[in-house]
Amino acid sequence: MTAVIAVPSSLDDHTFESVLDQLASHPADAKVIIDARHSTFATPYGLTALLTLAQTRPEKAEFLPPENPDTVSYWARAGFFRYAEELFDVRGHVPRPRSAGESDVLLEVTPVTKSDDVHGVVERIQERAASILLNKLHLESRATMGFAMTLSEACQNIVEHAGRGGWVMVQAYNYRRRLGGRYVVVIAVCDAGVGFRSSLESGQRRSLSDRWDDAVALEAAVVNGVSRYGDPGRGQGLKGIRGYVHRWEGKFSVRSGTARIALIPSWEDDVPRRENLAYFPGAQLQIIIPEKVSAAA
């Protein structure tokens, strides 16, 4: 029996949970059709998470692309179909990607498997990100360098811990859900690897408390800087991301397994910790840096 999984019209880190909830009611090896025909919007998290989902299926899933021509064109420009065509059985015609031109896609969907991929991502992002961060987000010039560092550390999480390749995408857009349409830059880094809990267990770094689950593992790694490596210099990457996000009043969320934790800025209405979510392997990170507004605004 084939399960049809409906992709929400607006696909982001919150609505992607409905995709996982639908999948959870079917056997892990069930044949599935991912139906995105009615999708009209997707964040970098949504697109990279869809590719990650494809990696988790033992049998290649079918994929029905968005019917809206603008949407499918955007997904193509974002580089989604370049990899979706390898991972899904994509039905119907999808447009060939054209040059992003002046698009606000700062980094199209890009695979991250090895250390050199991180170098490539950092090299490509800096010039475009500088322009967006300075001119649209009105951040100080030092924010640009921190942005590249943050992106680098987020991608390295895949290389160092996931055990398999993942995806990164960066985009700037008007954040209509919150912030009254202020500009934001969003980084999404998703993988279907071992996840935080297994990673810490492999390094004998699970906590000694009675409770040990995905949420505790996430808190240990993201909040307390625990790494599976015993090296005392480890754990600074996520700590650095937290510091950067806090300094620029951004939002940082990490989902792994059945839990999600988030650093919530004052402008966002979200919860810092969610548990008992539908299981999804690996780790999915999202970083949102908002446009800076003057105190008088």
Partner 1 sequence: MTRIDVGSVLRHSANLPFSDLVTRPTGAAVRRCIQTELAALSEGDVAMLDFSRIGMMDYSCADEVVAKLLIALAGQDAHAGYIVFHGITDAHLEAIEVVLDHHGLALVVQFADGGARLVGSVTDDERAIWETVYTQGSAASGDISAASSHEPAERARILESLLHRRLLRHDGVAYTPLGPVQ
Residues in contact with partner 1 by CB under 8 A are: 115-116, 118-119, 122-123, 126, 142, 145-146, 148-149, 152-153, 156, 159-160, 232-234, 236-237, 239-240, 243
Residue number, 95 or 243, with CB nearest to partner 1: 243
Give the shortest CB-208-to-partner 1 separation in angstroms.
23
Residue number, 34 or 168, with CB nearest to partner 1: 168
Per the CB < 8 A criterion, the answer to whether 258 and 213 are in contact is: yes
Encoding tokens for residue 175? 């954040």
Side-by-side strand order, sheet with 62-64: 2-6, 31-35, 62-64, 89-90
Give the shortest CB-137-to-partner 1 separation in angstroms.
18
Euclidean distance between CA atoms 218 and 231, whole angstroms: 19
Q: What are phi and psi of 245, to 5 degrees?
A: -65, -40
Give the shortest CB-67-to-partner 1 separation in angstroms.
40
Give the shortest CB-203-to-partner 1 separation in angstroms.
15
Q: How far is CA 65 from CA 2, 3, 6, 107, 209, in A?
A: 18, 16, 11, 21, 46
Give the shortest CB-263-to-partner 1 separation in angstroms.
17
Residue number, 95 or 165, with CB nearest to partner 1: 165
Residue number, 199 or 258, with CB nearest to partner 1: 199
Residue number, 5 or 154, with CB nearest to partner 1: 154
The residue among 151, 152, 43, 171 whose CA lies nearest residue 107 is 171
